[in-house]
Amino acid sequence: MHLRKMTETDLQQVLELQQELAFQDWNEKQFLSEIRANYAYCVVCEDEESLLGYAIFHLMGPDSELLSIATRESEQRKGIGSQLLHAGLDKLQEPDDQCFLEVRNGNVKARAFYEKHGFHLYNVRKNYYSDGEDAALYRFSRESR
Ligand SMILES: CC(C)(COP(=O)(O)OP(=O)(O)OC[C@H]1O[C@@H](n2cnc3c(N)ncnc32)[C@H](O)[C@@H]1OP(=O)(O)O)[C@@H](O)C(=O)NCCC(=O)NCCS
């Protein structure tokens, strides 16, 4: 199992994984523009057979953002998400560099995952998602780690 940068040839498997987990509904064009954007860091985890997970960050100086992270259902809770997350967080260089993210309030698994990795809840945005669910906003900083 290893990590590497996402390429356009991964798109099919990334879309399948997103569909399998049903946590987001980005289309091919959206993933493609992330892969091509120079401020985006898109990483996948794979074994010899298939793609096991991916993460997409925007690395933008002091304020970075985690846009998406996912691990194949059958491979969850084996540390893959943590490896993907740290691939991005390790790129925060300065002490006051931060990483932000938003997550559905009811996404208990992901919230536990982020909190385990030192993200702190700093706000809740009411009715943020189209179905009316609130968004929990988290921040990570190297200093408050
Ligand atoms: C969030 C996610 C990426 C974590 O990936 P992962 O590969 O399972 O992560 P790891 O194995 O590195 O970390 C596991 C940690 O996540 C949290 N976690 C994972 N599954 C959990 C569950 N069912 N219940 C509670 N906490 C859970 C725990 O903190 C756990 O640590 P522990 O095993 O020591 O208790 C994965 O659950 C996922 O793909 N979810 C669906 C997509 C999603 O919701 N993405 C985030 C949208 S913003």
The finding on whether 21 has its CB within 6 A of some atom of ligand 1 is yes
Task: Tell me what the mean pLDDT of segment 99-111 comes to.
Answer: 97
- Ligand 1, atom 17, lies closest to the CA of 113
Q: 12-44, pLDDT tens digit by residue?
A: 999 999 999 988 899 999 999 999 999 999 999
For each of the domains in the chain, give its residue range(s) and CATH number, in order of start.
2-141 (3.40.630.30)
Q: Is the pLDDT of residue 145 over 60?
A: no
Instruction: Say if CB 138 and CB 114 are below 8 A apart.
Output: yes
Residue 52, ligand 1, Cβ within 6 A: no
CB atoms within 10 A of CB 53: 24
pLDDT for residue 144: 64
Cβ count near 141 (within 10 Å)? 18
